[in-house]
Structure 1
Amino acid sequence: MDQNLLERLKAYTVVVADTGDINSIEKFRPQDATTNPSLITAAAQMPEYTDIVSGALGWARKEAGQGADAGAIVGLAIDRLAVDFGLRILKIVPGRVSTEVDARLSYDAQATVDKARRIIRLYEEAGASRERILIKIASTWEGIRAAEVLEKEGIRCNLTLLFGVHQAIACAEAGVTLISPFVGRILDWYLKDTGRASYPPAEDPGVVSVTRIYNYYKKHGYKTEVMGASFRNIDEIKELAGCDLLTIAPKLLAELASARGDLPRKLDPEAARAMSIEKIRMDEATFRAMHAADRMASEKLSEGIDGFSKALATLEGLLRERLEKGAAS
């Protein structure tokens, strides 16, 4: 059968749509979908989603009650908006949707737990099962500890902004459901740091990092799933064929769907189990020492948290503006 590369990839790997754009999800029909603050902020500014934004603000006004200030209403609306996008996505995909906790809570384990519980409560009040929701949390030490608590409560977690093997090992030992190592952002860092214009696909530092994590997990029998994320080109995706999951932006999904050719499996659990890979004992001191020694992981984690925090601030401004317009009309 003459299959395109997207269809061939689905034979080895669960394909996930990396977008808040519901129309794109309907087009490509992935198994799962992931969102983040940047994607939700972008989607919230599209005219076709005005009804979701208006609905979230209306709900937040009622929830906050008479006399509530704009900040309280906007805070509630952001949670509602993320859940409302997620609920619409769940009507399209057969699997799971990932919804992210406020990135500004990334170094506060208890606040992260509280926010995650609130998000799950909103989903469940709307009739969604928690088994279909992944709570996205940044892979700080505090975020991983929060995820450990949540997993014990049956709240499944997707640990994001993951750049180093130390983060991956800590996540697996905490029993998290899934991790999202960021392939393209790792490549970005190395291109800038080395001054190189490119890497051969198999030597792409992001590809090498995810391959190492995948093999480590399979060798040592961890159940945590590996979902490569943040791709810059389809060559990176092809090099990771066989990864548990890959979350891919609509532009690259379209490229895969229009391309033909062979797509050999590159990552294989049986091959990984046959490898000689030393197990690393992970505790807080080891994690922090490895993180400090990994300049790329340290810089990209901080940068990623800052980026998602800025996206949330932009979304807050957008919602506040619409709230004021609504009050004035």
Structure 2
Amino acid sequence: MEFFLDTASLDEIRKCKAYGLIDGVTTNPTLLRKEGQDWRRQMQAICKEVDGPVSLEVVGTTAKEMLAEARELIKFGPNVVIKIPMLLEGLIAVRELHAMDIPTNVTLVFSPMQALLAAKAGATYVSPFIGRLDALGQEGMECIRQIVTIYDNYDIATKVLVASIRHPMHVVESALTGADVATLPFAVIEQLARHPLTDKGLQTFLDDWKALAGDGAGQG
């Protein structure tokens, strides 16, 4: 499974690159606003920094508006993926972009049927938001399981990109389900590497080493 970083922070991107844990990046207007920088320069810098795909989101709500924005966004780099909201107008835009060989990521997906429609339109990625479903009392991972099953049934090439991930178990369950990509906040990526038993074991080794070194010093 690929890991995408859900961020607009160059610092977070560079840290994840050093860890070897970044296959791509997803952004949105909220993340870009959080950085407090000129959004055009920020997106251009991100596209240069990242070797893999970078999802940049349109804000129009009609196909005409989305396509006009997409033509501008692809100028930021050859790795740009156009992020399109799951609307009927969005499906028109996805179909036209697919015909132009421009990759797309259909976002704000909350049901298997939305995911199937996006795939039929030619989406490269589909992004179900599991954390937001969980917050409504629904089971977000069941949505992922259903989408993966449907795609497998019909050999659909669209990749399942699990979004709105809140904690490490979301990542584990996504991997077990067979999702193609998980897009993670930086904090969750850090949590993946941690375990209290790892910390406890390391501290035991360090304490024993200090004691061993002290014994050796006494004998000398």
Distance 1:260 1:96 in 2: 34
Aligned to 1:96: 53
2:162 alignment partner AA: G
2:3 alignment partner AA: V
SS of 2:165's partner is: coil
Distance 2:168 2:64 in 1: 38
Aligned to 2:28: 36
Q: In the alignment, does 2:105 pair up with 1:158?
A: yes
Instruction: Note the alpha carbon deviations across 1:153-187, whole angstroms, 9 max, x for none.
Output: 12111100000111101111111111111010111
2:63 to 109, 113, 138: 109
Aligned to 1:238: 172
Q: Which runs of 5+ in 2 are unaligned?
A: 198-220
Mapped contact 1:86–1:97 kept (Cα < 8 A): no
Q: How does 1:122-271 map to 2 (within 5 A)?
A: 122-123=75-76, 128-129=77-78, 132-190=79-137, 205-241=139-175, 242-259=178-195
Instruction: Note the alpha carbon deviations across 1:14-55, whole angstroms, 9 max, x for none.
Output: 0000011110111112010010011000012xxxx5xxx2xx
Distance 2:126 2:196 in 1: 29
Distance 1:235 1:19 in 2: 20
User: Could you say which structure has the greater relative contact order, defined with CA pairs below 8 angstroms and 6 or more residues apart?
Assistant: 1
Instruction: Indicate the larger mover: 221-230 or 146-155.
Output: 146-155
Aligned to 1:119: 73
Aligned to 2:214: none
More strand by share: 2
SS of 1:16's partner is: strand
Per the TM alignment, residue 93 of structure 1 is displaced from its structure 2 partner at its CA by 2.4
Distance 2:35 2:145 in 1: 32
SS of 1:217's partner is: helix
1:98 alignment partner AA: S
Q: TM-score, structure 1 length as denominator?
A: 0.56
Q: Cα 1:168–1:188, aligned 2, differ >3 Å: closer, same or farther?
A: same
Instruction: Note the alpha carbon deviations across 1:73-97, whole angstroms, 9 max, x for none.
Output: xxxxxxxx24x32332233322110
SS of 1:135's partner is: strand
SS of 1:258's partner is: coil
SS of 2:193's partner is: helix
Runs of 4+, deviation exceeding 4 Å:
none
Per the TM alignment, residue 260 of structure 1 is displaced from its structure 2 partner at its CA by 8.4
Per the TM alignment, residue 217 of structure 1 is displaced from its structure 2 partner at its CA by 0.6
Instruction: Note the alpha carbon deviations across 1:214-237, whole angstroms, 9 max, x for none.
Output: 121122111111100001211111
Per the TM alignment, residue 259 of structure 1 is displaced from its structure 2 partner at its CA by 3.5
Instruction: Indicate the larger mover: 87-96 or 155-164.
Output: 87-96
Mapped contact 1:140–1:167 kept (Cα < 8 A): no
1:111 alignment partner AA: E
The percentage of aligned residue pairs carrying the same residue is 31
Q: Cα 1:91–1:116, aligned 2, differ >3 Å: closer, same or farther?
A: closer
Mapped contact 1:145–1:174 kept (Cα < 8 A): yes
Distance 1:223 1:211 in 2: 16
Q: Which runs of 5+ in 1 are unaligned?
A: 1-12, 54-80, 192-204, 262-329
SS of 2:183's partner is: strand
Q: Cα 1:260–1:177, aligned 2, differ >3 Å: closer, same or farther?
A: farther
Matched length: 191
Mapped contact 2:73–2:80 kept (Cα < 8 A): no
Distance 1:150 1:260 in 2: 47
Distance 2:151 2:42 in 1: 32
